[in-house]
Structure 1
Amino acid sequence: MNKTLLIVIIAGLLLAGVFVLSKNQSTVGPSTQTEQTTDQDNGDDVEEKDEVMEKEDKAEEKEDEAMEEAEDESERTVVSVTDTGFEPQTVTVKVGTKVVWRNKTNATVNVSSAKHPTHLEYPPLNLANFEPGETISLVFTEAGTYKYHDHLNPSKFGTVVVE
């Protein structure tokens, strides 16, 4: 009897866990789903996609402005990764500053230290891939000049000067 009760409880917990996980996954990323499905529909949906993208761009601009205003307080600097490269291409920061890279392209980006392809100049700067709309960051704890590039598109490069 105790064994049967234990099995029923475990099965119930597993089912509840699956339900919770599936519910969480269905609520993640609705704007991505909208963008993917609207490309396959008629022209009206493309206009809706453009409106959604404009709203997202405006939200990102407001967030960028807020982050820039807070730089003095939180010691944070934002570098945008765009289709043309890193903006700004060179930043000068104090020791202890967090540099945040924001992917504003439509492709995966990988910030890595110089020199391509070995990335040996400053290994902590060999950051992971990050997708469009995502950010990745590093706190610089030592003074120096750190050159980096997008490993997936090595023609894009930048420099962090830490004083």
Structure 2
Amino acid sequence: MSAAVSPLTEIRTMMPAHLKAVARVERAAYNYPWSQAVFRDCLLAGYHNFVLEVGGVVTGYGIMSIAAGEAHILNLCVHPASQRMGYGRQLLNALLARTEESEAELVYLEVRPSNEAALALYETAGFSRIGIRPSYYQARNGREDAVVLAATLRAPR
């Protein structure tokens, strides 16, 4: 009998040394990716920035801001070759765990309506659709709306 050995998966704080790898994942996943400079700015801004490493290779990342009682997931991405393996949920859980240390009562995010896998992930994690941001994302044929999602973390004080 043989057993498959899963590669070690770790979520770490994103560091400047991760920026090239994060930008590679971003370019692989999106037609209109953030630049490496945008990720650097997220580090400089003090956002909650994580990388997910699988077997020592950056495979995904998550970025979230927390201010004024609200959290906003700015970007959560897993390399296309590693999607649908639970890594997105691991990153989401890491971000949500960070909100428990804050005063945040709500968490928001935007997602393309065409990204059905992401919508399913967020909805199974307790997010609800609360609105649409028209023409939010750049798309091949112009612009694409964003679905705005929110989850309540705790009752308002």
The TM-score range, normalised by the shorter chain, is under 0.3
TM-score by length of 1: 0.26
- Which structure has the larger Rg over C-alpha atoms? 1
- Which structure has the highest helix share of the two? 1
When normalised by structure 2's length, the TM-score is 0.26
